[in-house]
Structure 1
Amino acid sequence: MSQIRVTVWNEFRHEREGGEAEECYPEGIHTVLAELFESEGFDVETATLDEPEHGLSEDVIEETDVLTWWGHAAHDEVADEVVERVRQHVLDGMGLIVLHSGHFSKIFKRLMGTTCDLKWRNEGERERLWTVEPSHPIAKGVDEQIVVPTAEMYGERFDVPAPDELVFMSWFEGGEVFRSGCCYRRGSGRVFYFQPGHETYPIYQQPEIRQVLGNAVEWAVSDDNQRTEYGEVAIPPEECE
């Protein structure tokens, strides 16, 4: 397989407003993720909300094998035509990795067909991600559990369709649990939702989390991600003889 092409999309608002988010990710979450994926040998580009077409022109998407998506405060500012462009490319075989509060993004809700709502609390609690499907490619090299020392709590019920595969399940200090690593197929594309990643905690610097994300990119690309042809077909000539 040729070098995997990853586009890292980030809203990039919190990190420019000062405060804890800027202290944690002074150059933006997208730069940390880009460095991670580059270290894995992927061909990486970044895109942010305030660029023309949010950095996701047809040319960019056409050259993307896997798109990662981090958004939070400005989901409604993402243009519907860009969302539809991304959706169509996922259906045609592009991988999509939706991160943390990207669960409420237009693209994830459109692909899931549900509200994607959940319970939450940001008190800096400890999170334990349990690897409930250790044989899955996304869990390769990952221990039975990943401990995130400081995290935002996301809790059930998470209003998404039942995952095709559930790789990680989280527990928080308050007792809540959450389906934190969910795999889906949409058309010819693979979608992975991964919960850890609040903007004021250095979660994307954590080696175990970086391992999961690198694995997820490789999983999201497959040789069978080929566009399916639909519509009326003729009887093969040999069957007409």
Structure 2
Amino acid sequence: MTNALRITVWNENVHEREDSEVAALYPSGIHGAIAEGLRDLLPEATVSTATLEEPEHGLTEDRLAETDVLFWWGHGAHDAVDEAIVERVAERVLAGMGLVVLHSGHFSRIFIRLMGTTCSLSWRDDGDRELLWTVAPGHPIAEGVPDPLVVPAHETYGEFFDVPAPEELIFVSNFSGGEVFRSGLTYRRGRGRIFYFSPGDQKYPIYQQPDIRRVLANAAEWARPEGERAIPTVTNRPRGWFEG
């Protein structure tokens, strides 16, 4: 029997406190909307939230030890995240914790740390329609997701996206203004699985869309740890250890 999934949704929670329009869209915060969707679609999972202003950003050693998959939403306060917490999260990912990075989280310290690139891209915000096309239809993250998935209005992201070549490309977006973007990418770092998913700008009610919530729930299931939770280490086997 599979153990119940333990999910933590992290959000800097800055826009909701400083922008009344964002607060109106997300009265429980972006983290609250994401958590609500995960609870609806994964009723057996334990879903909790954490935010930047909490002690240790809500990502204490104990909290991370009890997290199978961490969702990360950030935009305006990347530099406010303590480097020690970034390293703590990175170590947990290398040891097997799943990580789902959302929207402007491409510029988060944790994503840049794990990718080893600038993670830069092109962007503009004219409220363009976005179509997410499934290019890996057999992948678990795409299960039950319409093709294309339509986001009526969104901030536009475009190539070049400076990330390593993904292990799997799940979604590619095109926008009504002409841009294309690799919007759903998977990676492995150490024993941990990582999924980057670009939809979710704070000015749009994207995390209330059922199809977007389905992607996030699928991603949580896909990113769950497999096997031992420990950072891979160097081993030194003595001569003759295997004589079979």
User: TM-score, normalising length from structure 2?
Assistant: 0.95
Map 1:1-241; keep pairs closer than 5 Å.
Answer: 1-39=2-40, 40-41=42-43, 42-224=45-227, 226-227=229-230, 228-235=232-239, 239=243
Query: Taking every aligned residue pair, what percent have the same amino acid on both sides?
Result: 59
Shift of 1:188: 0.4
Q: SS of the residue aligned with 2:217?
A: helix
Shift of 1:20: 1.8
For 1:74, give the aligned amino acid. Answer: A
Give the Cα separation in 1 of the matches to 2:118 and 2:228.
Answer: 27
What do the CA deviations read for 1:22-53 (whole angstroms, capped 9, x no partner)? 11112201111111112212101110000000
Give the Cα separation in 2 of the matches to 1:236 and 1:61.
Answer: 39
Retained in 1: the 8 A contact 2:13–2:29? yes
Retained in 2: the 8 A contact 1:158–1:179? yes
For 1:219, give the aligned amino acid. Answer: W
Retained in 2: the 8 A contact 1:189–1:225? no
Stretches (4+) displaced over 2 A: 222-231, 233-240
For 1:231, give the aligned amino acid. Answer: T
What do the CA deviations read for 1:52-103 (whole angstroms, capped 9, x no partner)? 0000000000110000000000000000000000000000000000000000
Give the Cα separation in 2 of the matches to 1:207 and 1:52.
Answer: 32
Give the Cα separation in 1 of the matches to 2:217 and 2:157.
Answer: 23
What do the CA deviations read for 1:94-142 (whole angstroms, capped 9, x no partner)? 0000000000000000000000000011111100000011100000011
Give the Cα separation in 2 of the matches to 1:156 and 1:225.
Answer: 37
Q: SS of the residue aligned with 1:190?
A: strand
User: TM-score, normalising length from structure 1?
Assistant: 0.96
Retained in 1: the 8 A contact 2:97–2:225? no
Shift of 1:215: 0.2
Shift of 1:222: 4.2
Shift of 1:229: 4.4
Give the Cα separation in 1 of the matches to 2:7 and 2:159.
Answer: 30
Give the Cα separation in 2 of the matches to 1:192 and 1:157.
Answer: 18
In the alignment of these two chains, the number of paired residues is 240
Compare 164-173 and 14-23 and name the one that shifted more.
14-23
RMSD: 1.4
Compare 215-224 and 80-89 and name the one that shifted more.
215-224
What residue ranges of structure 2 are gaps of 5+ in the alignment?
none
For 1:200, give the aligned amino acid. Answer: K
Q: SS of the residue aligned with 1:84?
A: helix
Give the Cα separation in 1 of the matches to 2:172 and 2:4.
Answer: 31
What residue ranges of structure 1 are gaps of 5+ in the alignment?
none
Give the Cα separation in 2 of the matches to 1:29 and 1:236.
Answer: 56
For 2:204, give the aligned amino acid. Answer: Y
Shift of 1:174: 1.1
For 1:149, give the aligned amino acid. Answer: P
